[in-house]
């Protein structure tokens, strides 16, 4: 609300039904809260959500509840997130039923919960790293990386002392721990074009991009007759309200040229009826990038299906990164398993691969990919890294078109020499047919120990993943009641590589 006292919010009715499994596509950032409502399970600010629902640059003066429950709800709402970045929680961050979560460059009073895969990067107050979980001694599945090797925070808008809007563009930082709310370089809105979905086209937006302007997309659905093309170094494309960019005529929604420091943030990319080669294409493949001025994707989400449509939608690849030194900071790439009209079956709304990385020195902080019909992730570049990865194999495949093809949730090309991963989980729910997959993760054997705490999770259904990575790790197939969530999981612990001390396994 707005009034004479400025912008403010009022608490509405707290009587809402628990359940966060399908709570997608919302975000909150750049505010302080002193909320202390007494929810079931704790008091404080509640943010019970799943994928594509980030919290950024938030100061929580009390506790933060990342799940919602009610008496008798042993599943505690099936939360399935999540991302917390550059935020400070004075009290406890209570993740409850959150199956997996990434916390990056934040500060927490404590973090007492964890289900399968809780990853902390550059976070103060985080639990000590521990591979797997042991309920007998209350040990949680924690991966804790002391510092973030390189990161640039998401651009944001503020008002300067003269009352004018400015675009804040935080610069890249190396080996950072904790929160950083220091002033960032600012750009006056004379250098920013604010686009509207009811008046702008791809052509009009590209004309402004061609002039070197930054683009702020007002909330809305943009039906793009062509790709938005960013060809200037340091250019920003920032969506407000998760502006939705719908690809049409088989073209990408966004294309980034061979330039440094481009930022794409706060957008939801949506497939159209004619298949695009990729909905977001970054570079041509010949550009090495710049280690001190990386390109960054912040809160970039993709969906193939979901909303009601007169025809099927499709894309071959959701995101393709060809340039070097590109960072991803919270991506969810989703081929819909359900739409407004019901379940998705028989390979409808097809997409082959979620993310293809061809560039070198690419890093992903918080990468989630679900339900593509071939590999979910294909990584071909050198010196790549993922810090928290969650994948869910497709529900509607069979042995012939999936299991026998050898598809995987996370594939590193056989030619790759250096690659690392911290907390990579591949889940399966083969709903429609019995499917046997050899391994959730496929990588060159010499890289197996570079995967810290990789895991496989059986959610439900008829099939199995035989191994976690290559031929290592046992079969995950049998459902057991496990910490609020009906599922079974297997994790591989490489103590000597990461945890150093076998007591932490």
Q: Which residues are catalytic?
A: 392
**Residue 32, token pair as written in the block:** 């302080």
- Is the CB of residue 331 less than 8 Å from the CB of residue 300? yes
Q: For residue 97, what are the CA distances in angstroms to 66, 68, 179, 311, 486?
A: 8, 8, 25, 36, 11
Distance CA(109)–CA(64), nearest Å, equals: 10
- Cβ–Cβ contacts within 10 Å for residue 445, how many? 11
Mark residue 177 as left, alpha or beta (left: phi above 0; alpha: psi -120 to 50; beta: remaining): beta
Distance CA(451)–CA(441), nearest Å, equals: 10
The string of DSSP letters for 42-66 reads EESEE----TT--EEEEEESS-EE-
Give the DSSP H/E element, type plus range, for residue 385: strand 384-392
The string of DSSP letters for 467-482 reads EEETTBS--B----EE
Distance CA(137)–CA(50), nearest Å, equals: 28
Distance CA(3)–CA(241), nearest Å, equals: 21
Q: Which 8-state DSSP code applies to residue 307?
A: S
Letter string b/e over residues 210-244, b meaning 16 or more CB atoms within 10 A of that residue's CB: eeebbbbbbeeebebebbbbbebebbbbbbeebbb
**Residue 312, token pair as written in the block:** 């099927």
Q: Rg of the chain's alpha carbons, rounded to an integer?
A: 22
- Cβ–Cβ contacts within 10 Å for residue 208, how many? 16
Give the DSSP H/E element, type plus range, for residue 210: helix 202-210
User: Which among 137, 243, 130, 262 has a CA at the least distance from the CA of 197?
Assistant: 243
Q: For residue 345, what are the CA distances in angstroms to 160, 327, 378?
A: 51, 33, 24
**Residue 444, token pair as written in the block:** 């060159």
- Is the CB of residue 409 less than 8 Å from the CB of residue 376? yes
Give the DSSP H/E element, type plus range, for residue 206: helix 202-210
């Amino acid at each position: 609300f707005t009034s004479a006292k400025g912008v403010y919010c009022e608490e509405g009715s707290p009587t809402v039904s628990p359940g966060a499994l399908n709570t997608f596509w919302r975000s909150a950032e750049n505010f302080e809260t002193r909320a202390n409502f007494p929810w079931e399970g704790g008091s404080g600010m509640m943010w019970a959500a799943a994928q594509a629902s980030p919290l950024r640059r938030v100061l929580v003066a009390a506790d933060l509840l990342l799940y919602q429950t009610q008496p008798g709800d042993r599943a505690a709402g099936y939360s399935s997130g999540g991302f917390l970045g550059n935020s400070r929680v004075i009290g406890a961050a209570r993740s409850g039923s959150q199956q997996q979560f990434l916390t990056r460059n934040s500060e927490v009073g404590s973090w007492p919960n964890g289900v399968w895969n809780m990853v902390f990067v550059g976070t103060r107050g985080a639990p000590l790293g521990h591979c797997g979980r042991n309920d007998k001694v209350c040990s949680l599945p924690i991966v804790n990386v002391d510092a973030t090797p390189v990161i640039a925070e998401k651009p944001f808008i503020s008002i300067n002392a003269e009352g004018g809007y400015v675009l804040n563009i935080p610069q890249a930082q190396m080996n950072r721990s904790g929160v950083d709310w220091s002033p960032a370089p600012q750009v006056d809105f004379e250098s920013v074009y604010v686009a509207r979905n009811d008046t702008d086209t791809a052509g009009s937006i590209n004309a402004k991009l061609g002039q070197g302007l930054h683009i702020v997309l007002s909330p809305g659905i943009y039906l793009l007759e062509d790709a938005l093309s960013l060809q200037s170094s340091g250019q920003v494309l920032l969506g407000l309200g998760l502006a939705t960019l719908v690809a049409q005529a088989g073209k990408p929604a966004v294309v980034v040229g061979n330039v440094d420091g481009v930022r794409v943030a706060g957008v939801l990319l949506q497939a159209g009826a004619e298949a695009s080669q990729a909905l977001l294409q970054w570079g041509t493949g010949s550009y090495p990038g710049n280690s001190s001025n990386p390109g960054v994707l912040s809160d970039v989400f993709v969906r193939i299906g979901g909303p009601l449509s007169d025809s099927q939608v499709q894309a071959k690849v959701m995101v393709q990164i060809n340039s070097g030194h590109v960072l991803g900071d919270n991506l969810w790439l989703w081929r819909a398993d359900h739409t407004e009209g019901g379940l998705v079956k028989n390979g409808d709304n097809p997409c082959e691969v979620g993310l293809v990385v061809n560039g070198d020195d690419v890093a992903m902080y918080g990468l989630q990919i679900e339900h593509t019909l071939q590999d979910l992730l294909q990584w071909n570049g050198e010196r790549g890294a993922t810090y928290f990865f969650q994948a869910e194999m497709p529900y509607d495949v069979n042995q012939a078109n999936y299991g026998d093809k050898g598809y995987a949730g996370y594939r590193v090309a056989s030619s790759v020499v250096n690659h690392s991963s911290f907390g990579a989980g591949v889940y399966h729910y083969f709903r429609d047919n019995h499917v046997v997959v050899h391994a959730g993760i496929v990588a060159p054997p010499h890289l197996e120990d570079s995967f810290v705490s990789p895991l496989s999770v059986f959610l439900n259904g008829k099939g199995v993943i035989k191994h976690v990575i290559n031929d290592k790790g046992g079969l995950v197939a049998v459902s057991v009641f496990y910490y609020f969530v009906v599922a079974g999981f297997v994790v591989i612990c490489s103590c000597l590589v990461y945890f150093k001390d076998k007591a932490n396994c």
